[in-house]
Chains A and B, each alone.
Chain A
Amino acid sequence: MRAPSVPIVHQVRGLSDRTIAWLFIAPTMILLLAINLFPLIWTIQLSFTNYRANRPFAPLRNVGIEHYQTILSDPEIWQRMQATAHFVFWTILLQTVIGFALAYLIDRKFRGHGFWTTLILIPMMLSPAVVGNFWTFLYQPQIGLFNYVVSFFSGLAPSSFQMLGDVTLSPWAIIIVDTWMWTPYVMLICLAGLRSIPDYIYEAAEVDRASNWRQFISITLPMCLPFIMLAVLFRGIENFKMFDMVNLLTSGGPGSTTELASITLKRAAFEAWRTGYSSAFAIILFVTVFGLANIYVKALNKVKAR
């Protein structure tokens, strides 16, 4: 055991450590309080009023929990939440399966794996809004590349299906784009998980003559699980509040088939200008994300502790 290291320098010239600590942290905290915490508290307060941001001087009325009741008993809102859940579920499933498979293959360390990995990462570095916009071009029924390729392989007429205009296809149109964009993200985290498994475990399994499949099921998957769950957590939070890509791709249409919660929120807040109502909805979404994330993190910690 080493002796506990005693701080060598207690009294120095210049500012004291305590002053420096305070000076160094204060600006960041002030900024975060002003631009994050203060608006959040304001949102809570607004959610109990009938305030409308486009009529700032109209008389303000306290409506209590009316907005919350309206939202939670509105079948349309539940339908939006269902659309959101559908989107989150399928994107996470596809991204996890494909992302993990890619990571598993890249971990074979074939020649040039670094170069190809970097290329695969490009989509996730782009602006979701710009990505959404150029996919609307790829999805054009008559002229789009996507329809052309699909018809080339399937024999369907390219104008016989409209990815963005058809009520059953449009949710899948956004799922495809999101999966294209964010699979590399999941892949990267899974790769970290695979690299964290020490080689000697596999060597021991080889000595025991465990088959490749057996090794995969009893070593690779369980040891990678915390990482996979972390990727699911990050993607889940992001996709629950997904706005930019969907706003550009379908802006909620056709009808309201791809109207995810954040699109509804934007419409209520910045098109209908029902500020009080939308604040209540924002708080409900916020509480939902936090609640689900907290339950999930507890599960994640259990897996980690195993």
Chain B
Amino acid sequence: MSGATSTAHSVVAPSGRVKLLAGAIVVLYALVALVPLIWIGLTSIKTPPDSISYPPKVVPFLHFEPSIEGYCNLFNARSRQTADYLASLPPAKSDCEAITRSRSMVVVGPSNYVPRFVNSLIIAFGSTLLSVGLGTCAAYAFSRFKVPLKDDLLFFILSTRMMPPIAVAIPIFLMYRELGLSDTRLGMILLYTSVNVSLAVWLLKGFIDEIPREYEEAAMIDGYTRLQAFRKVVLPQATTGIVATAIFCLIFAWNEYAFAVLLTSGTAQTAPPFIPIIIGEGGQDWPAVAAGTTLFLIPILVFTVLLRKHLLRGITFGAVRK
């Protein structure tokens, strides 16, 4: 910051002016890049007419009055009614009821958003648990033992990740139909586990390689069996790596769409194929879609912050050594 640091070493110690300019450009990029996301958040608290007004309404309370209508429409299924019928109803029990009636509609029940969201949670957490469990064991074995054809096996595990989902979706569709796994949560959990386990093995092998073997050897001299040493010495040491891997698996399973849209139709459908088909009367109900999107993005925002230090390793399979 001070003049003393702005020596000739341009990269080693960039001058204050260079830093300021670099910072300004990066901040500008970040702000522009976040506009679409902020816009979705804003749209979720607009009324349908406000959401499609031109010019766009930007500042809450100043340009438009925030409304919970989007969230009401997301969670409730509605049906249009005549004015006579609406007038004959008892007073509305909730704000959502009142808003719905002001649009000449009544709430007829819950929408499918919550079940789809719950499916996303169950499938994402189920497959994460399974892939991290399987991945930790396999990674430990690859890291510590002499396994025949080790390099070939590791490459095979990685290569399964390069397959285009649509290419394998056809036979998986047929296979699942035979086994009664199509449109079931178990089927989706197994499928996402098979996609995620390759990432888990590669990431966790890197983490476990860094734990010195001497720790287990010392534990085994003290009378532990190999499995006890694994459980009581290696697992605690690998916790950070396991957590980071788990979050990567969660994010993938949470965001996955291709398999979900091709292999599920109802009971096991997750949120990504569902959100785009939230349709109001006379076309897309944008505040409701925006509300569904906002709620769906929140876990990912949290994970991004938690994961920022491990991101690089995860997205490159450890191909970039840090």
Contact = CB atoms under 8 A, between A and B. Distances in A.
A283 B275 CA distance: 31
B243 interface: no
Contacts of B147: 21, 25
Contacts of B11: 107, 199, 202, 215, 220
B145 A110 contact: no
Give the residue among A24, A118, A158, A262 with the most B Cβ atoms within 10 A. Answer: A24
Interface in A228-275: 230, 234, 237, 240-241, 243-244, 247-248, 262, 265-266, 269-270, 275
B273 interface: yes
A3 B267 CA distance: 61
Contacts of A31: 134, 190, 193-194, 197
Contact of B217 (A8, A123, A130): A8
Interface in A34-69: 34-40, 42-43, 46, 53
A285 B162 CA distance: 11
Interface stretch (B67-75, B98-106, B110-118, B312-320): B312-320
Interface residues of A, number: 106
Interface string B299-319: 011011100100110011001
B141 A148 contact: no
A135 B36 contact: yes
Given A121-B308, A148-B54, A262 B164 contact: yes
Contacts of A286: 163-164, 167
Contacts of B170: 39, 43, 46, 53, 269, 275, 278-279, 282
A105 B22 contact: yes
A20 interface: yes
Given A111-B23, A289-B162, A192 B320 contact: yes
Interface residues of B, number: 105
B61 interface: no
A227 B35 CA distance: 29
B18 interface: yes
B320 A189 contact: yes
A203 B9 CA distance: 7
A212 B225 CA distance: 59
A299 to B, nearest CB: 16
Interface stretch (B79-87, B89-97, B252-260): B252-260
A241 B164 contact: yes
Contact of A128 (B54, B198, B255, B262): B255
B12 interface: yes
Contacts of A29: 138, 153
B251 A125 contact: yes
B125 interface: no
A14 B19 contact: no
A252 to B, nearest CB: 13
Interface stretch (A74-82, A87-95, A138-146, A160-168): A138-146
Nearest to B260: A129
Contact of A116 (B26, B297, B305): B26
Given A116-B26, A129-B273, A138-B36, A25 B322 contact: no
Given A35-B190, A36-B163, A180-B36, A102 B174 contact: no
Nearest to A131: B36
Given A25-B147, A189-B312, A215-B11, A127 B272 contact: yes
B262 A127 contact: no
A24 B315 CA distance: 25
A122 interface: yes
Nearest to A219: B11
A17 B12 CA distance: 49
Interface in B186-205: 190-191, 193-194, 197-198, 201
Nearest to B9: A206
A36 B160 contact: yes
A79 to B, nearest CB: 19
A185 interface: yes
Contacts of A7: 217
28 contacts: A7-B217, A15-B226, A24-B138, A27-B134, A28-B157, A28-B197, A31-B190, A32-B156, A39-B168, A40-B171, A53-B173, A105-B22, A108-B22, A110-B20, A110-B23, A112-B23, A129-B257, A130-B276, A188-B312, A220-B11, A243-B164, A248-B257, A248-B276, A269-B166, A269-B170, A275-B170, A275-B174, A293-B162
Interface of B: 8-12, 14, 18-20, 22-23, 25-27, 29-30, 33-37, 39-40, 43, 51-56, 134-135, 137-138, 140-142, 145-147, 153, 156-157, 160, 162-175, 190-191, 193-194, 197-198, 201, 217, 220-221, 223, 225-228, 251, 254-258, 261-262, 272-273, 275-276, 284, 286, 289-290, 293, 296-297, 300-301, 303-305, 308, 311-312, 315-316, 319-320, 322
Given A133-B293, A142-B52, A247-B261, 13 more contacts: A8-B221, A25-B137, A29-B138, A32-B194, A37-B160, A53-B173, A112-B23, A125-B300, A192-B322, A230-B316, A237-B162, A241-B166, A293-B162
Interface of A: 7-9, 12-15, 17-18, 20-21, 23-25, 27-29, 31-32, 34-40, 42-43, 46, 53, 102, 105-114, 116-123, 125-130, 133-135, 137-138, 140, 142-143, 145, 148, 158, 180, 185, 188-189, 191-193, 195, 199, 202-203, 206, 212, 215, 220, 227, 230, 234, 237, 240-241, 243-244, 247-248, 262, 265-266, 269-270, 275, 278-279, 282-283, 285-286, 289-290, 293
